[in-house]
Amino acid sequence: MNYFSSNFKLGILGGGQLGKMLLYTTRKFDVYTSVLDPSAEAPCKIACNEFHQGDLMDFETVYNFGKNVDVLTFEIEHVNVDALQKLEDEGVHVYPSAKTLQTIQNKGIQKLFYQKHHIPTAPFSIYMSLEELLHSVENDVISIPFVWKSTQFGYDGTGVKIVRSLADLERLPNVECMCEELVEFKNELAVIVSRNVSGEVKTYPVVEMEFHPEANQVEYVICPARIPENIQAKAKKVALQVSEALQHTGILAVELFQTQNDEILVNEVAPRPHNSGHYSIEASYTDQFEQHIRAILNLPLGNTASKVAGIMVNLVGAEGHTGEVVYENIEKIMQLEGVTPHIYGKKQTRPFRKMGHVTIVNEDVAEARKVAATVKQTINVISK
């Protein structure tokens, strides 16, 4: 099929920053794009050929949108899977597939999938409600501390809580949930695996993630991870095991724990470009967004190696600030060597909302990490 400067149409469900960054590639290749998002001010709006406003969880909206494209992909997991399945049944190419998304969308189903396929993951229990979970705690079936996760609709630290007391438990919402054993880990790692329609597979280097202690959000992504080569190899092997079991098409981000005794456990996965791969825009030969487009259009996959070390700093809304966004000191960080800001185009900020990111590249990962700390201390995302 001729994708370039033709009447081929690529549909993207979700018009946020990930979609906007996918559009860097579609504009480069002159691939015609149509985007669906609930917000009239979605970041994608300025860069796609067609923009449609609508509810991604509404069957008819997603189905009617998907009928008018040749290939359909998504940049967010919260979309109507039944509509995707019907579109697939009617001949629309949906990548990743409805089946892949259905497995991943619910964290309980995702964990059961790992168990079924002998993929290492932390021990867990699933509960239909908070009452059921409380009953298990009161009867010593499970013991505090543990990690509580809502099985659905969690993102960026929402829907995840470390429970250290009964009081923590009582403040949680009454939804289907699971609790996981609290893993004592040395590092949180991630591996991005790309797979095209024909089954060609490539992995990106292992990255290391440093988290904000309160928001449960990634503050820094460091590539390459500062871990021994044998641990890197083990992490890639587990990520490939997940990719093989899912048989996904596109980008799959596999988040991992490196335990104190150097086991590798899968935390969770995302079937789309991911925060842990943003560094690749500046640091890699082929960034994750171009790779996702190559994969879903069944083009040859690009080189996933890094040209230089890369560190990504998330720009999130400052605490105590809600309203029209102002970015303070961008000019100051741009004076630093190897620094590139990415502003997502969201007009309204609120505490911990992802508003952009900054990439720092350097031959030396230690030097890049120092600059990243300066960037973090200098830039502020506040409201007017």
Binding site members for ATP: 107, 149, 180-183, 188, 267-268
Please tell me the distance from the alpha carbon of residue 338 to that of residue 96, in angstroms, as a whole number.
34
Please tell me the distance from the alpha carbon of residue 135 to that of residue 156, in angstroms, as a whole number.
28
Residue pair 120/265 in contact by the 8 Å Cβ criterion: yes
Question: How far is C-alpha 369 from the chain's CA centre?
Answer: 22
Tell me the C-alpha to C-alpha distance, in Å, between residue 336 and each of 233, 279, 283, 374, 378. 33, 17, 16, 9, 11
Please tell me the distance from the alpha carbon of residue 177 to that of residue 174, in angstroms, as a whole number.
9
Please tell me the distance from the alpha carbon of residue 142 to that of residue 371, in angstroms, as a whole number.
44
- Residues 6 or more apart whose CB falls under 8 angstroms from that of 88 comprise 94, 97, 98
Please tell me the distance from the alpha carbon of residue 352 to that of residue 347, in angstroms, as a whole number.
14
State the pairing for strand pair 250-259/185-195: antiparallel
Numbered residues of the known binding site: 107, 149, 180-183, 188, 267-268
Please tell me the distance from the alpha carbon of residue 158 to that of residue 350, in angstroms, as a whole number.
14
Task: Name the residue with tokens 């509404």.
Answer: 58
Largest distance between two CA atoms of the chain? 64
Handedness of CA 75, 77, 83, 89 (dihedral sign): positive
Tell me the C-alpha to C-alpha distance, in Å, between residue 72 and each of 10, 30, 87, 128, 213. 6, 17, 9, 32, 36
Please tell me the distance from the alpha carbon of residue 38 to that of residue 76, in angstroms, as a whole number.
12
Please tell me the distance from the alpha carbon of residue 236 to that of residue 20, in angstroms, as a whole number.
28
Exposed e or buried b per residue across 158-176, where buried means at least 16 C-beta atoms within 10 angstroms of its C-beta: ebbbebeeeeebeebeeeb
